[in-house]
Amino acid sequence: MSYEIPLPTPDQLQRKPITSSADLLKYLEERGFKPTAVVVDNASAKVLVFFEKELDEDSKEDLFEAVMEYYKKHLSGK
């Protein structure tokens, strides 16, 4: 199962692209997720997160929030 998460402010992402899907994967794992793969598409300003099975609604919301948190930290350089 895959989840596509659009990222806001694609112009900022173009200036500072996310260069490591592995870092995002690790970040999600540290928050309790178990994705099988993460793909960052800087050109389209989106993240694809793959799981073996479908997430429940609460987990989907938590996933979205975790990716947004990572994105904000990435842009701020923290």
CA–CA distances in Å: residue 16 to residues 32, 45, 78:
27, 11, 13
pLDDT tens-place string over residues 11-53: 888 889 999 999 999 999 999 999 999 999 999 999 999 999 9
Q: For residue 62, what is the domain's CATH number?
A: 3.30.70
* Count of the separate structural domains present in the chain: 1
Instruction: Work out the number of other CB atoms within 10 angstroms of the CB of residue 58.
Output: 8
pLDDT for the residue numbered 54: 97
| Structure tokens given for 8 | 């806001």
* Residue 64 clears pLDDT 80, i.e. is over it: yes
Q: Which range of residues forms the domain containing residue 42?
A: 2-76
* Residue 67 clears pLDDT 80, i.e. is over it: yes
